[in-house]
Amino acid sequence: MLLLILTVFVGAPLAAWVARFGRIQSAWAAGLVTIVAVLQLITLMPAVFEGETLIHQWDWMPRAGLNLSFRLDGLGLLFALLILGIGLLVILYARYYLAARDCMGRFYAYLLLFMGAMLGIVLSENIIQLLVFWELTSLTSFLLISYWQERADARQGARMALAVTGAGGLAMLGGFVLLGHIVGSYELSVILQSGDVIRAHPLYLPTLVLILLGAFTKSAQFPFHFWLPNAMSAPTPVSAYLHSATMVKAGVFLLARLFPALSGTPEWSALVGGAGLATLLVGAVFALFKHDLKGLLAYSTISHLGLITLLFGIGTPLAAVAGVFHIINHAIFKASLFMAAGIIDHETGSRDMRRINGLWKYMPHTAMLAMVAAAAMAGVPLLNGFLSKEMFFAEAVSASTHLRLGWLLPATVTVAGVFAVAYSFRFIHDVFFNGEPVDLPKSPHEPPRWMKVPVEMLVALCLLVGILPALTVEPLLTLASSGMLNQPVPDFDLALWHGFNIALAMSVVALVGGGLLYVARQPLFELHDRFEHRLQAKPLFDRTIGGVLGAAGAITRALDTGSLQRLVALFVAFAAVLGISGFVASDSPLTGPRDLLPVDGISLLAAGGLAAAALATVIMHRQRLVSLILIGVVGLVVSLVFVKFSAPDLALTQLSVEVVTIVLLLLALYFLPRRQQPDSHPGHRARDVVLSVVAGGGVAALAWAVLTRPYDTIADFFLANSVPGGGGTNVVNVILVDFRGYDTLGEITVLALAALGIFAMLEGLHLKGPTRDDEGRPWSPDMHPPVMASLTRLLLPLALLVSAFIFLRGHNQPGGGFIAGLVTAVALIMQYLANGVAWTQSRLPANMHPVLAMGLLVATLTGLASWLFGHPFLTSTYTYLYWPLVGKFEVASAMVFDLGVYLVVVGATLLILIHLGLMHSASHQAPADTGDYR
Amino acid sequence: MLEYLLAFLIVAGGVFTFIGSLGLARLRDFYTRLHGPTKATTLGVGCILIASAAYFSRLQGEPSLHEVLVTLFLFITAPVSAHLLAKAALHLELPSLTPRPGERDAPQE
């Protein structure tokens, strides 16, 4: 089954690619992909017909209950057949529908992606996986609806569909998580068995409401129905596919799927039945008044979805079977109706039913097909719609006997039936009779032969199912119902004639009443025109979305005024509040029981120097260069402190980071405006002083509290296992590349992304650098003094030697890929500074993206390589080699990983600094140099 | 014997470095101050490096080469920074105790 879904997903780019060889080829490719998928499904079918439920499972994160698992039972099979079968017909139809200027490859790629996502929904065993495919259908349907991207209504309709169904999906995620919490598993086979547990659980109602929100938004149930008519701006093949067999059926599929788990409670009946009934009526009434051909079909789709939902809401097994039956019938006749509407639109250039009249004379063949399909929609006997509607009426009557005011249900349902017949009449009469066409852009005629074939096949199915239900649809329906109900299927009879009963009477009333209603439509239309503008959902939706956006914008603007100082102040203030609340909440004393070490003079001196330098940085902050030097002092003292506390790795890292930072800041200082900032407002200064004292004091208190307590760290473990486990005596490096290699992989990925982000920000940024210094003196014309330039070139091999040395010994002695990378980066930056960008770029590639990519690739491949040997990701190994001159030395696979770290560090550092340097030369007057870096 | 030599070298290095720092603090104009850190410090650090090389060579029983590398770096970088500092000072026309050499390096305003 995985293969089946993969076929379709892989087919999507294939169809797009094939399109470069011609439009028709793309359609062929899409069709072939679908046929291959159908064949795969057929090979799985015999087992399902024997009553098996096929489940294919691959563990992914079993402990979190997340697996890749697929399930094929009767219900899934029915839907998969509908999706693939109608998909195939739509592919054939679209090949004739799309105009020469429309991009075929894109269309078929989207369509196949959507098809794959739908298949994923109906074949999922894991509900979280189901949700992923569910969201994929939202996304791909967005692409399909907005296929004509140049049209504003298409974009708006697609956005609305995405917003509504996406919001529903979010609610559903909550529902699924609750469901998994109740049941203890996300697997459907478990969930479907534990219906009693779920229904008795206190969280049942929230779960139900959240899941129903998802299903209702997808299936366009009232009051979320409004996106569907607005999605009619999609190309008609898309509408035919999305709104007959797939997208909107996903919601009712979910109702069917979870029927055994969730149904059978008063809440279920009230929510599902209520929404279904409202939708049925609203859709049917609105459909009659739409002048747009597709608008009428859209509202009729809504109404039929309501009908199906209502059947599931009634909650008896028989009603659910009727619901599944109507899903099949509706998919067949609605797809053919949409296709017929598309043909009419295509051949007349209009969809307005006030203009397209009397087409019987021009396209009798199409007219005949459309009329049969419309009759099926109205529920005329001998057609498939009649059968399921009859079952529906019968179910409505039998359900009403249990209810107070029960007669209301059959009555409302009959009214909806009357309207359904009326709008079907309107579809037939307005379009094909009713005088002559009015002012059409094109003169109507029959479409190409093959464009009608899909419609013919669907209409033939309508007739076959309608006349010979027991032979055609019954086995499949029984199978699907058993898959849905998870229990024996109740007896049902798909005969045409059930004798004189209430359901037949309701059918007759609907047919006759619908005819009368259509005849007397004129006053109703006037009434509708008067109130129409009040009944529009779109302005309301737009206002809601606008309000949400406005509120979000207001919050952002209130918090982020564009002032960095303010943001930092807010951030520090929040951190201080959290920290203080932590201190206050704890009742243990600040000073722990551990004895203090004696203070020695050198430490005191270093601490004093550190404090003085930090303080001086604040005081001198207006003299930028001086404060930069002071920051350097702080960094150097910190690295000396690391040396004192036997952390040579940290000291080396700190030192090299310090160098790179200072260079970076020097490059950035050049662009700062020269004008003196006005002094801060005294209030601001007071705020800053208070904040910094509180924050700094808090950190100091925290450090004091931690350091005066005895504590066990995991350091002992690392110290003990570094050599036996990682084969290196430099514990820091072994932790980085071996024990916590996964963290490091994540970190270098972040580093690479940050570098790319900075690159993206610098790209195309033009800053004007000053041409003179603070006192109005021009820059020295001697950009690259020969003494410096030539001696720096001498330094490069030496620095690279040091870097290689640090890298190679990293596993056993202070060093490693990170420090070596920084040293290399500094060595190369020296060349840029001393010799200028142009000179260096002619010798070194300036494009550092491949280096970044190579580094990530090396690190990841090292991790993956351990899979080859059957070990988990990033397992490292080591061995000892004997090299004649050097002696015995150790080779660890972690060193290759370290090489990846090295490359990423070099790439990221250089990428940032080179591009800052390039900005310098661009801003500088002399065309080819790095600029003065003072 | 070696210990005396090492002690002498370390003390000499310390003294040279101190004199260099003192000069940096006490001398009266930029150009003379430049002598302090560059010349004296080079000599001082050089002494300490020789002492270190000798000590660790004896301790480990094989020649210690790190110091050679450090010396190389020092001898390349110290003159370059001194040169650049002097160039910058001339460009900025910092006040000098003696007249500056001609107008060759000082560009016209």
Test B84 with A778 for CB contact under 8 angstroms: no
Q: How far apart are CA A195 and CA A183, in angstroms?
A: 9
Query: Which one-letter amino acid corresponds to residue A817?
Result: G
Instruction: Write out the two tokens for A683.
Output: 């209030």
CB burial of A132-150 (b: ≥16 within 10 Å; e: otherwise) equals bbbbbbbbbbbbbbbbeee
Residue B6 lies in a domain: yes
A656–chain B nearest CA distance, Å:
16
Two tokens at A20?
A: 């470069």
Answer yes or no: is B14 within a domain.
yes
Q: Other C-beta atoms within 10 Å of A55: how many?
A: 15
Residue of B nearest to A801 (CA): B69
Residue with tokens 């033939």: A460
pLDDT at residue A475 in the model: 86
Residues B2-24: tens digit of each pLDDT: 889 999 999 999 999 999 889 88
ipTM: 0.81
Q: Which H or E run contains A888?
A: strand A887-892
User: CB–CB of A785 and B107 under 8 A?
Assistant: no
Nearest to B83 among A788, A794, A798 (CB): A788
Q: Contact at 8 Å (CB) between A134 and A379? A: no
Distance of CA A708 to the CA centre of its chain: 48
Whether residue B105 lies inside any domain: the answer is: no
Cβ contact, residue pair B107, A798, below 8 Å: no
SS3 track for A220-246: CCCCCCCHHHHHHHCCHHHHHHHHHHC
Q: Indicate if the pLDDT at residue A928 is higher than 60.
A: no
Q: Establish if B109 belongs to a structural domain.
A: no
Spatial contact of A105 and A91, defined as CB atoms under 8 Å apart: no
CA distance A433 to A446: 16
Q: Is the peptide bond before A223 cis (omega within 30 degrees of 0)?
A: yes
> Is B21 contained in some domain?
yes
pTM passes above 0.95: no
Using CA atoms, how far apart are residues A708 and A597, in angstroms rounded to an integer? 10
B44 lies in some domain: yes
Q: What is the pLDDT of residue A926?
A: 45
- The answer to whether the CB atoms of A798 and B73 lie below 8 A apart is yes
Q: Contacts by A639-645 with C-beta closer than 8 Å and gap 24+?
A: A640/A606, A641/A606, A641/A610, A644/A602, A644/A603, A644/A606
Rounded distance, CA A649 to CA B104, Å?
Answer: 48
What average pLDDT does range A378-395 have in this prediction? 87
H-type helices in A379-501, by residue range?
384-400, 408-432, 449-467, 469-472, 474-485
pLDDT digits (tens, 9 = 90+) for A422-449: 999 888 888 888 878 777 777 788 888 8
pLDDT (tens digit per residue) in A739-749: 788 888 899 99
Q: How far apart are CA A781 and CA B107, in angstroms?
A: 8
- Phi, psi at residue A782, to the nearest 5°? -90, 90
Size of interface A-B (CB pairs under 8 A): 37
Domain count, chain B: 1
Distance to chain B for A571, nearest Cα, Å: 41
What confidence tens digit (pLDDT) does each residue in A172-202 have? 999 999 999 999 889 988 898 888 889 998 9
- Whether B106 is covered by a domain: the verdict is no
Containing structural domain, residue B85: 2-91
Among A655, A774, A779, A791, pick the best mutation site for testing chain B contact (most B Cβ within 10 A). Answer: A791
Strand (E) or helix (H) holding A272:
none
Instruction: Give the pLDDT band (50/70/90) at residue A2.
Output: confident
Tell me the C-alpha to C-alpha distance, in Å, between residue A115 and each of A43, A461, B103: 19, 22, 81
A778 neighbourhood in chain B, CB within 8 Å: 107, 109
CB A770 within 8 A of CB A674: yes
Between the ranges A201-205, A926-930, B1-5, where is the mean pLDDT highest? A201-205
Which member of A787, A795, A934 has the closest CB to residue B83? A787
Question: Within the 759-778 window of chain A, which residues sit less than 8 Å (CB to CB) from chain B?
Answer: 777-778
Q: Which of A173-187, A517-531, A611-625, B20-34 has the lowest mean pLDDT?
A: A517-531
Q: Give mean pLDDT, residues A325-349.
A: 90
Residue B65 lies in a domain: yes
**Distance from chain centroid for Cα A451:** 35
Does the beta carbon of A677 lie under 8 angstroms from any beta carbon of chain B? no
On the 0-12 / 13-18 / 19+ scale of CB atoms within 10 A, A923 is middle
